Amino acid sequence: MNLRRRTFLQATAIGAVLANLPLLARSAAADKMKIGMIGSGNVGSALGASLARAGHEVMFSSRTLENDQALAKKIGANARAGTPRQAAAFGQVLVLSVPYRALPDLGKSLTAELKGKVVIDACNPYPNRDGDIANWAREKGAGLASAELLPGARIVRAFNAVGAARMGDAYREPRRYGMPIAGDDKEAIEIASRLIRDIGYEPVLIGGLEMGKHLIPGTALAGERSPDEVRKVAQSL
């Protein structure tokens, strides 16, 4: 191959790379999502901070806007605050981390915003805190109960049996620990799994929403385990 032809081919190759740079940049940007956090207590604040750290845009919301504004200011980049309705409209994906007794009202007041949205359900039914609805949810199974209370939402149950402080530190040891999840919607599972990896966990699908009954504190899947250990425990259920 003569020098002139070699130079032409090199220039063509470089031109192709440069032409694709905007596309590659758009692809990287498309990986970042808008996340509406409904509930900003220990769990919500830890998850929201980790998602913002990973580059996603996060809107915190709760019953106290001032607290959410202070939290967003503390986190800084990629964090903002709003009302639950604003967060539900803002988020391409929603993360719910509220007392379980709040779900019926959220399901009614945010019906339009929840419809078709991927919702990561990090809520747990505690009878001593939530009353009769917690007993009903435990009997029905927390995954199926949440789906009934949040009609139209594409629910993936996750972050239910690991301490909030540990959730905020998972990024320090990426994929060392498995995060058991349950869901019926394939695309919702894929989206939630990507966000879970961004936080630092390796998602482990244990089954459909009916398996959500195993994703509460006090069950065999509670606590931190390696992904393989999570799979072994799930297979024994």
Q: What is the pLDDT of residues 117-138, one digit of tens each?
A: 999 999 999 999 999 999 999 9
What global pTM score does this model have?
Answer: 0.86
- Write the CATH number for 164: 3.40.50.720
pLDDT of residue 84: 97
Q: What is the 3-state secondary structure (H, E, C) of the chain?
A: CCHHHHHHHHHHHHHHHHHHHHHHHHHHHHCCCEEEEECCCHHHHHHHHHHHHCCCEEEEECCCHHHHHHHHHHHCCCEEECCHHHHHHHCCEEEECCCHHHHHHHHHHCHHHHCCCEEEECCCCCHHHHCHHHHHHHHHCHHHHHHHHCCCCEEEECCCCCCHHHHHHHHHCCCCCEEEEEECCHHHHHHHHHHHHHHCCEEEEEECHHHHHHCCCCCCCCCCCCHHHHHHHHHCC
pLDDT of residue 124: 96
Q: Is the pLDDT of residue 234 over 50?
A: yes
* Tally of domains within the chain: 1
The answer to whether residue 23 sits within a structural domain is no
Domain that holds residue 176: 32-235
Q: What is the pLDDT of residues 12-46, one digit of tens each?
A: 343 343 344 443 333 345 589 999 999 999 999 99
pLDDT of residue 219: 92
The answer to whether residue 20 sits within a structural domain is no
The answer to whether residue 10 sits within a structural domain is no
